[in-house]
Amino acid sequence: MRVPTLPTLIRTLTLTNITATLPRLPQSPFANGRHPTRLLLRSMPSVPFLGSLFGGQQSRDMTDYPVKKGEDEWQAVLSPEQFRVIRQKGTEAPFTGEYDRHMPSEGTYECAACHTPLYRATHKFKSGCGWPAYFDSIPGAVTRHTDSTFGMARTEILCSKCGGHLGHVFKGEGYPTPTDERHCVNSVSLKFAKEDREGKSGV
Ligand SMILES: [Zn+2]
């Protein structure tokens, strides 16, 4: 009888053990695409719990942003809530944000992370959705990319300067605005400045 070499023996035993002990994975309840919370999620910027469950953070886009900081550096300069929303694509609870019902006649909303002007006060409108809503942004200040978490295509909006998560943009909802777009933004991603800071750079 031929004695197997040690590496062959180990490989054989390991493979046998793995095959014998592999559990049968239960089928995902969402595998058929009929996500029970799909409708609930439609108007929300993102949902942190489900986001982490479904690997939402893996959807972070790889665009090269001018302001570069490591996640530990961001954590050092942002509050825990800002870090959760801006860097981890979280969502503040609806109707709770500082700027939800904030309707100044002039001024600028800047990125809370890098202070780049993003929206004018005159872009803001009352949507009733529970988050600050803008029908347009300062040209070039906001970057869009497709967010396919939860099995649906939504358009995420990010600060063009630092890549900070702002929320999502929705189109064709019928709001009486010049663009019929709603930039649904987390208040915590923004910082309001009374003066007109458009054109001024951030960090
Ligand atoms: Zn920014």
Full pLDDT tens readout for the chain, 203 residues:
455 554 444 444 333 333 333 344 444 433 343 443 443 444 554 544 444 333 344 445 567 899 999 999 999 999 999 999 999 999 999 999 999 999 999 999 999 999 999 999 999 999 999 999 999 999 999 999 998 887 888 999 999 999 999 999 999 999 999 999 999 999 999 999 998 766 655 54
Q: How far is the CA of 45 from the centre of ligand 1 (A)?
A: 17
Separation of alpha carbons 1 and 200, rounded Å: 82
Q: Which amino acid is at 16?
A: T
What is the CB neighbour count within 10 angstroms for residue 95?
Answer: 11
Q: How far is the CA of 28 from the centre of ligand 1 (A)?
A: 37
Q: How far is the CA of 145 from the centre of ligand 1 (A)?
A: 15
Active-site residue (options: 114, 129, 162, 184): 184
Q: How far is the CA of 198 from the centre of ligand 1 (A)?
A: 14
Are 137 and 110 within 8 A, CB to CB? no
CA separation, residue 59 to residues 54, 55, 63, 81, 175 (Å): 10, 8, 12, 20, 29
184 is catalytic: yes
